[in-house]
Amino acid sequence: MPNNNKELTLSAPLSGPVLTLANVPDAVFASGAMGDGIAIDPLNDTLYAPCDGEVIHVARTGHAVTLRADNGAELLLHLGLDTVELQGDGFSMLVKEGARVSNGQPLLRYDVDKVALRCKSLVSLLVITNGEHFQARPITLKGVKVGEPLLHILAKAPGETQDDDQATGSEVFGQIRIAHRGGLHARPAALIRQTAQGFKSRSRLHFQGKSASCDSVMGMMGLAITEQAQVHVSCRGSDAEAALQALLATLSTALAEEAHAEAPAIKPQRGIAEAGVLQGVCAAPGLVTGPLVRLDGIQLPQDAGGHDAEEQRQRLDSALSQVSGEIHLTLENAKARRHRDEEAIFSAHLALLEDPVLLDAAHLFIKQGSAATHAWNRSIEAQCQVLQQLGSTLLAERANDLRDLRQRVLRVLLGEAWQFDVAAGAIVAAQELTPSDLLQLSAQGVAGVCMAEGGATSHVAILARGKGLPCLVALGDALLAQAPGKMVVLDADGGRLELTPTAERLAQVHQEQVRQTSRRAEQQTLAHTPARTLDDVAVEVAANVASCGEAAQALANGADGVGLLRTEFLFVDRHTAPDEEEQRQAYQAVLHAMGDKPVIIRTIDVGGDKQLDYLPLPTEANPVLGLRGIRLAQVRPQLLDQQLRALLQTRPLSRCRILLPMVTEVDELLHIRQRLDAIGAELGLSERPQLGVMIEVPAAALLAEQLAEHADFLSIGTNDLSQYTLAMDRDHAGLAARVDALHPALLRLIAQTCAGAAKHGRWVGVCGALASDPLATPVLIGLGVRELSVSPPQIGAIKDRVRHLDAAQCARLSAELLNLGSAAGVRQACHQHWPLG
């Protein structure tokens, strides 16, 4: 029953210390992108309802549940971080969707030890997902017990809406050329909406006599703005000037994946070209065989009309919020796995789901007596038609994203399970598949997909390429006439679907599949042997880890050591500092987990934008240029001393290597050496661990020779080195394409680092993300790098890459790359010199 008093006090769903969202070690939750709320680091094993309400969504993997409180607030209760990856293992959900629950009722139980061991963190969230109507005020930030008052929520006052501000303030205008490849399609439009929403002002785009609000992705796409077109932007409100500048920057910066996007091999033919073969367009390469399986979309029966408008509106709203919750989870997952394409696509879906153009139309159809199902369907179809009539193939393909949302919402309204089951190894045929279909099919292990319609630049195609799932589009309606179950060959590279392959052909394709699988298996087996180039140069392939669990996984994957242990994990998200003994135990656990292999432990790299609750530092205007990394020793010397003391007590010290972040001059290194000597003497030690320096600012690269005189090794942090060399924020979404560590300026710094180290006989490693990029392996080896610290799943592939290279040839060709003018030029040359297998 609706509760007109919008105020509500939520009780604690778990027992444990309370954290603000900003302190949650997850960028999505911490940024507030999922909504306002609070977090608890739980000490108990059951999650309880924080108020009376209705269960409106239960995660398939049992780690999250959404309630609608009686005042309309929708509350996502999410247990742990990245727990979706456990696929339900360790969780038991105690309630079902649609159930009424009362305050304090148990909702889900979990196996604390099992889950804690396998997830990133047990920190659990309570987030208001329809925060546009509500505000949250924490009642306590201390520890709570289940049932104690935790969070106060109240409706937003009308004065807090944007409109008041927009009525006042001046209006400013600007114009800009659109940089987005293919024009303003769904993903850039969603980014523009997000930018506009960061300001109080109301902003609009104007193009060829038409205009659209920046709040509406549909409206902006409807302007059919092409690449390189000039558009006008207007902003009205108190922060209009700032909004305008931000929007102009977003409009004129291509997305990361647009800049790196490889052009798919488009074969123009379609239809039946030769007997038994359907010709289509390659959207993702590959050659596979399997039984054909047909997947059909939802068909609605006739609607007699005359429905109760209020009831239908409520049904639609609740279906929309359920789908929104599901997409949030997909997004969260994509972010956790750093799948930028997936993240951009599903962010755009979320923006479309909230689009006023779609919602207003659906609500209008409902007012006229339509059922929620038909109203949603009609609204989507109307917008699909708009997109298809704009005369842009790219925008026409975005209708597929709308149909994705059509299907998802209809499935909820019709009470159909939104999952479908397709056997692993099948080749799926459909009129058209949507991005969420593709994610499910890929997770179910299908061999390939083909569609009667669709295009090679659609979001489904982008996802298929990202997943390595062979995909053909535009095969024509003949595809749908094929009998399911028959064995076919999908030759995506050749744009062919072979409908009547001979037994010989099937065997040949099967053999090729087996060859590829065994190559991957072989890489994995060989991952445990050290990697040497063809001309016998040894290259160590180590792993970047953040805990002893990850270290154990890295060892199992064949890591030659840990090349970077980021110790920040021990210090953040807590109210008190870990003491010396806790630190010692944590470092010792990683050393144990790595058997007899070396472990490079980096001293704490907080400060800047990574703040610690118990270590207040002054607020800084430019945090990444402020007191971070080793500079912390300047202001908190005792913190670093404590860490060095803990490190010196690990055993054996011969396997423990210490690495210093953000070093810019030799004195910083000498100071730490001196501290190590002094603390070592206090502890009565005769041995000292090796001490290395991170090369992650240009100053350090330029001083490599002087640093190497006093350091035992150098390790290049290409993530920060790119940021500081190119003067581009490494987390800036709009600049991501250009923050490319293969930029020739960085290669020159890497070359200079290796040359400086060589003068003193020191080795150089790379622990930034560039080390995990197989395209960069030959360049790094060529420039003199001898250790690559990569993400644990990449170990086998990078070792395999090393084994196929000739270090002398790499040196010769890499020297030439230093003379190129851009990262794109370097990438192109790398593809030519050292093609990826």
Catalytically active residues, by annotation = 459, 767
Closest to ligand PEP by CB, 255 vs 662, is 662
Q: How far is the C-alpha of 365 from the C-alpha of 404, rounded, in Å?
A: 20
Provide φ and ψ at 225, rounded to 5°.
-80, 125
Per the DSSP assignment, residues forming a β-bridge with 507 are none
Q: How far is the CB of 720 from Mg ion (least distance, A)?
A: 4
404 binds, among ligand PEP, Mg ion, none (CB under 5 to 8 A by kind): none
Best CA proximity match to 61, nearest among 326, 275, 245, 395? 326
Residue 76 phi, psi dihedral angles, 5° rounding: -90, 125
Residue 294: phi and psi, rounded to 5, are -100, 135
Task: Tell me how far CA of residue 543 lies from CA of 38, 135, 161, 746, in angstroms.
Answer: 34, 43, 49, 22
Q: From residue 700 to residue 739, what is the string marking binding to ligand PEP with x (rule CB under 6 A)?
A: -----------------xxxx-------------------
- Minimum CB separation from ligand PEP for residue 817, in Å? 20
Residue 566 binds to ligand PEP (criterion: CB under 6 A): yes
Contacts of 793 (CB under 8 A, 6+ apart): 557
Question: Which pairs from 89-93 meet CB under 8 Å and 24+ separation?
Answer: 89/114, 89/118, 90/114, 90/115, 90/118, 91/61, 91/62, 91/63, 91/115, 92/62, 93/58, 93/62, 93/65
Count the residues of the shown chain that bind ligand PEP, applying the rule CB under 6 A: 10
Of the candidates 258, 255, 259, 282, the one whose C-alpha atom is nearest the C-alpha of residue 270 is 282
Interface of this chain with ligand PEP, residues 150 to 209, rule: CB under 6 A: none
Binding mask 595-614 for ligand PEP (x = CB under 6 A): ----------x---------
CB of 719 vs ligand PEP, minimal distance in Å: 3
Partner whose footprint covers residue 768, from ligand PEP, Mg ion, none (CB < 5 to 8 Å by kind): ligand PEP
Residue for token digits 């033919």? 269
With respect to ligand PEP, which residue has the nearer C-beta, 401 or 696?
696
Comparing C-alpha atoms, which of 816, 649, 805 is closest to residue 747?
A: 816
Among 257, 696, 787, 800, binds ligand PEP (CB under 6 A): 696
Q: Compute the least distance from the CB of residue 803 to ligand PEP, in Å.
A: 25
Residue 718 contact among Mg ion, ligand PEP, none, beta carbon within 5 to 8 Å by kind: ligand PEP
Q: Cβ 564 to ligand PEP, closest distance in Å?
A: 6
| Two tokens, residue 811 | 């040196």
Widest distance between CA atoms in the chain: 88
Contact characters 755-774, ligand PEP, x per CB under 6 A: ------------xx------
Rank residues 432 and 605 by Cβ distance to ligand PEP and give the closer one. Answer: 605
Which C-beta is closer to Mg ion: that of 467 or that of 730? Answer: 730
State which residue, 183 or 717, has the beta carbon closest to Mg ion.
717
What's the CA angle centered on 298, arms 293 and 301, to 5 degrees? 135
* Binding residues among 316-375 for ligand PEP as defined by CB under 6 A: none
Instruction: Indicate the residue among 598 and 607 with the shorter CB distance to ligand PEP.
Output: 607
CB under 5 to 8 A by kind: which of Mg ion, ligand PEP, none does 280 bind?
none
The least CB distance from residue 661 to Mg ion, in Å, is 6
Quote the radius of gyration of the chain (alpha carbons, Å). 28
CB of 608 to Mg ion, least distance (A): 10
Q: At closest approach, how far in Å is the CB of 677 from Mg ion? A: 26
Q: Which residues contribute to the site for Mg ion (CB under 5 A)?
A: 696, 717, 720
- 566 vs 833, beta carbon nearer ligand PEP: 566
Cβ(555)–Cβ(595) under 8 Å?
yes
Which residues, at least 6 apart from 829, have a Cβ–Cβ distance to it below 8 Å?
Answer: 813, 816, 817, 820
- Per DSSP, 156 falls in state P
Instruction: Output 466 or 717, the one with its CB closest to ligand PEP.
Output: 717
Indicate whether 547 belongs to the interface with ligand PEP (CB under 6 A): no
Could you write out the three-class secondary structure of 720-778? HHHHHHHCCCCCCHHHCCCCCCCCHHHHHHHHHHHHHHHHCCCEEEECCHHHHCCCCHH
3-state secondary structure of 629: helix
Given Mg ion, ligand PEP, none, residue 767, with its beta carbon under 5 to 8 Å by kind, binds ligand PEP
**Binding-site partner at residue 41 among Mg ion, ligand PEP, none, CB < 5 to 8 Å by type:** none
Binding site for ligand PEP (CB under 6 A): 564, 566, 605, 696, 717-720, 767-768
